[in-house]
Amino acid sequence: MKITVLLSPGLHPLSGKPVLPRLEAQAIALGKSLGGVLSGLAAASCPDGVADALGHGLAQLDLIATTEGEDPMPLLAAALAEDGPKLVLAGRRSQGGEESGLVPYALAKALGLGVVADAVAIEPGTEPGTLSILQALPKGARRRVVARLPMVVTVHPAAPPALPYAYGAARRGTLRARRVQAAPGAPDAAPGLFEERAYRKRPKLMRGAGTGGSAAERLRAATEAGGAGGRVLTDLSPEQAARTILDHLAGLGILR
Amino acid sequence: MSRPRKDPRAERQARAVPGQRPRYDLARRPETPGGRPRHDPRVEIARARVPGGARLRLDRTQHAGSSPSVAIGAMSATPPASTTLLAAPTPRVVAEPAFLVFAVADAPDGRLTGHDRQVLGGARLLADADGGAVVLLAPPLVDDAGAAGADRLLALPSLGYAPETLAAALLAEIAARAPRHILFPESPDGGDLARRVAVSLGEPLFADVEQLSARTAIRPTGGRRREQAGAPPRLMTLGEGRVAPHLGDPHEARTIDPCEPTETTPGILRAEAVPADPATVSLADARFVVSAGNGITDFTSFKHLAAALGATPGASRVVCDAGLMPRAAQVGASGTVLDADCYFALGIAGAPQHLQGIAGCEHVVAVNTDLHAAMVERAELSIIADAQAVMPALLRLLAEGGA
C-alpha cells in the first residue's frame, strides 16, 4: 500500500525555531507500523525542520518549494493527485501559520477522499480495501472506525511515540526537490478583515465557579466550599444508604 | 441637620404598660427597625439541635434557617424544597428573529456537555445584540434546551458516528435557512464536523475562538505568538472555557422540522465505541472516581466496589502515606487534580488540599461519619454513616442489579 505522510515545518514551543512537529513524527511511526511504501511530502520555503523526518524513519521526502505566505493547498493537492497514494497521514494542524486545521479536510475534498480524525492506531480492515482505525476520544475513551480506502487520516497526540532520531538514517534518506504545476490558490477572501497583533493570554473560565452576580459573589462562589451544601442524610441503615447512593448516581447518568 | 428630633415624651408614652396606674417598661425593645438584633443563645441552640440520636448534636453551619436540608431517618427522595417552590419563569420568545445563529452541539447520549452550553452562551451573545434567534442543532436531547438558551431546536439525525451524513444534514440546513453565524465547539467531534462543513461550503473557518463578543472574535495564530481579531465571521469554533454558558431566563426552544439532506456515500462504513477501561485509565482522565480515605480499612472490598461501579479508584493522602493504596492514586494538591464528572468519597473528611484536587468535579457524593466534615459541606449528597458498613451493602446491591 502506498502511504504518504504530510509534513510541515513546526515551531519549537520555546525557541520558535523550525522543528518537525511531534505529531508528524508520530504519523511516520504509525505509517511504518502499517507496512507498505512510505514517503513524505512537504510544501515549505526551506527544508529546516522538515528534513528531520528522514531521521525519524522516513526513507524519502519530496519537498515542494513555496514562497513565504503562499497557500500550500493547491501544490499539495496536485502532487498527491500525481502520486495517488492509498493513505495520507497528517498531523492535526500546521504550526506558525493560520493554524485552522483545514488542510487535511481541504485536500480530502479536492481529491475526493474520506477523512478520519485523531487516529491512535491503524490496522488493515477485515474486508479488502478498508482500514480499521482506532480514534482517540476525550477522557481516555476510544472509537474503532472502519473506513474505505483511499482516505486522509490525522494523528492524535496519544498515538504511539515517534521513532528516535537516528543520524545515520537522516544521512541515508533522500530529500528531493519537486516541482508541480498547479493553479494558484484562491486569494484570501477578504484581506485585512482581521487585525493581526501580538498574542495576549486570556484566562479560562473556572469550572464550577459562578458566572452571574457581582465580582464579590463570584469570588465567594469560587473560594467557598460548595456554598449551601447539598442533601445530608443521617441515621440511614447501610441498605438504605446504598440504595440512595445508587439511585443518585443513576440519576446523574454515571452508572450505566 | 437632617437627624430626626427625639421626642422624649412620645418615647416614654410608647413604653407605657396599660393598667390603672402609670407604669413604663423601659427595658422593652422599641418596635422600630434598625438596632442590632439581640442574640438568644437558647433559641439558637434549639434551632441548631439535630433531632434523633441519643447524644446532643448541634448543626452550627450558618445556613439560612440553620438546618433545612438535614433530613433524618426517612429517605427523602425529593430535592430540597427551595428548588420546587420557585415558580418556573415564563420562557422568552423570539417570534420574528432578524437573523439566525446556529449553535451545533455534540450532546453525546442526548446530554448537553458543559462545552455545548458554552457554545449556546456564545450564540446567545451574538443573537441578543441584534434581535436574532439561536437555533440549537443537536441529536435528540434529554436535557432542557430552553434553559441552555436555545430559541429553536432542530434535531439532527443520530446514527451513531456518521460525520459525513451529519455534515450533509448541516449543509442542507445552512442552505435553507442562511444563518448569519454558525458556532461549533472545538471538541474532537465538533471540530471535525466544523472543518467538514467549512471545506464543503468553501468558506474560511475561524477556529478555536478564545474571546467572543457581539463585536469582536479573537483567535490565536502562529503558535500562540500572534492573534487575529475582527468582527465575528460566519463559521467559528469556540474553545472550551472561553464563554460563559447562558444563565438568564429560559428560552422557548421550539422544535422546528429539519430539511431533507442530500444523499451522500459515506467513506466511513461503521464505528463502534470502545469505552475507557476505568481500571487502567489515569486519574486525570477518569470520568468517575471513587476514593478511599481514613474511614476505610478493607481495601479489597474497596477495589471490588470500584470495579463494580465502573469507577477509577483514588485515595486521600493519609491512605497513600500508609502504603495502603499506590501513590499514583492520590487525589489532591500533591497528587492528581481531577477533571472527573463525578467523585464518590468514602470516609474522607476533606482537607483543603484534597478539596483543591476535586475542585473541577461536577458532582460529589460523600459517605462520612462526621456531619461537620468539609467534604459533607462540598458534596451534593452526603450520607452520615460508617463507609466501612455502606461498602458491603453497595456491593450486594450492585451484584443483585447485575444478576
pLDDT tens digits for range A240-255: 999 999 999 998 888 8
Q: Are residues A25 and A128 in the same domain?
A: yes
Whether the CB of B58 is below 8 Å from some CB of chain A: the reply is: no
Per-residue pLDDT, B19: 87
Per-residue pLDDT, B80: 45
Q: Long-range contacts for A212-215 (Cβ within 8 Å, ≥24 apart)?
A: A212/B247
Per-residue pLDDT, A188: 61
Range of the domain at A110: 2-178
Residue type, A145: V
Residues in chain A with CB shorter than 8 Å from the CB of B200 are 109
| More confident call, A67 vs B183 | B183
Q: Which of A218, A245, A246, A247 to mutate to test the interface with B (most CBs of B within 10 A)?
A: A245
Question: A–B: how many Cβ contacts below 8 A?
Answer: 276
Per-residue pLDDT, B71: 44
> Measured between CA atoms, how close is A168 to chain B, in angstroms?
31
**Number of domains into which chain A is organized:** 2
Q: What is the mean pLDDT of residues A77-97?
A: 92
Residue A186 has pLDDT above 50, yes or no: yes
Strand intervals (E) in B267-318? 268-274, 288-292, 312-315
Instruction: Please indicate whether the domains covering B100-256 and B283-402 agree at the CATH topology level.
Output: yes
> Measured between CA atoms, how close is B228 to chain A, in angstroms?
5
Which grid cell is B94? Answer: 423570539
Confidence of residue A96 (pLDDT cuts 50, 70, 90): confident
Q: Are residues A224 and A112 in the same domain?
A: no
Q: Are residues A167 and A221 in the same domain?
A: no
Confidence of residue A224 (pLDDT cuts 50, 70, 90): low
Mark the ranges of chain B whose per-residue pLDDT is less than 50: 64-85
Per-residue pLDDT, A163: 95
Nearest CB to A208; choose among B69, B208, B360 = B360
Q: Give the rounded percent of residues in chain A with a pLDDT score beyond 70.
A: 90
Close Cβ partners of A167 (under 8 Å, ≥ 6 residues apart): A55
Q: Could you say which of A178, A206, A235 is where a domain stops?
A: A178
Contact B307, B255 (CB under 8 A): no
Q: Which of B285, B338, B365 to mutate to test the interface with A (most CBs of A within 10 A)?
A: B365
ipTM of the complex: 0.89
Whether the CB of B100 is below 8 Å from some CB of chain A: the reply is: no
pLDDT in tens, B103-131: 999 998 888 988 999 999 999 999 999 99
pLDDT in tens, A42-54: 999 989 999 999 9
Tell which CATH classification among 3.40.1170.20, 1.20.200.10, 3.90.550.10, 3.40.50.1220 matches the domain B283-402: 3.40.50.1220
Q: Which of B227, B264, B380, B400 to mutate to test the interface with A (most CBs of A within 10 A)?
A: B227
Q: Are residues A160 and A219 in the same domain?
A: no
Show which of residues 344-383 on chain B sit within 8 Å of chain A, judged by CB atoms.
Answer: 344, 350, 355, 359-365, 367, 371, 374, 376-383
Residue A74 has pLDDT above 70, yes or no: yes
Residues in chain A with CB shorter than 8 Å from the CB of B355 are 225
Q: Mean of the per-residue pLDDT values for chain B?
A: 87
Domain B100-256 in CATH 3.40.50.620? The answer is yes
Q: What is the mean pLDDT of residues A121-131?
A: 93
Whether the CB of B76 is below 8 Å from some CB of chain A: the reply is: yes
Per-residue pLDDT, A229: 64
| More confident call, B2 vs A56 | A56
Per-residue pLDDT, A122: 95
Closest CA to B151 of B213, B87, B103, B212: B103
Inter-chain touch B393–A239, beta carbons under 8 Å: yes
